[in-house]
Amino acid sequence: MRYSTASPPAVVAACLSDLPSATSGRIVIVVDASVLAVALGDDASDGRLARERLADETLAAPELIDLEVVSVWRRQVAAKRMPARRAASAVADLTNLPLRRSSHQPLLHRVWELQHVLTAYDAAYVALAEALDIVLVTADARLSRASGTHCEIEVVSAISDC
């Protein structure tokens, strides 16, 4: 089976069913853990830049984003780059964020097709953006250079790697 740039209707329908506001007239973007962890967990200039980019957008992501973002903060706390109290506050913010979380199950075939160029986690974000034909916003420049992707990938470039 070959993947075409047009997502199968069943995949699009499954993803859209998790995104009730996708047709509300507001622009929807897929956001990945690299930019969301900074937006919610960094009070300095990188965090401000990420928050400015995501402001007034309807955010969508595969449901795995919560675990990935919390994992980033756990590593930062362990490395003493983020106070545990600040991380706990960021977890509360993540819990309350009006982020449209989509099941990754309808995306698994496309995730597998991208196995040679992306991790399964990164491929889930790409597959969702492809299925919905919307931009993926990331702080991971490597992701934007991956071959074989069929979506626009915007890198918030001034953000340091997390």
122 is in an annotated binding site: yes
Phi (first) and psi of residue 8, to 5 degrees: -60, 140
Buried b (16+ CB within 10 A) or exposed e, 118-145: beebbbbbbbbbbbbebbbbbbbeebee
Q: Cα torsion for 27, 32, 34, 40, to the nearest 10°?
A: 60
Q: Which residue has the tokens 């990188």?
A: 46
56 is in an annotated binding site: no
Which tokens belong to 36?
Answer: 């969301």
Tell me which residue of 40, 39, 16 sits closest to 28, measured CA to CA.
16
User: Rounded to whole angstroms, how far apart are CA atoms 125 and 94?
Assistant: 17
CB atoms closer than 10 angstroms to residue 9: 8
Known binding-site residues for Mg(2+) equal 32, 122
Known binding-site residues equal 32, 122
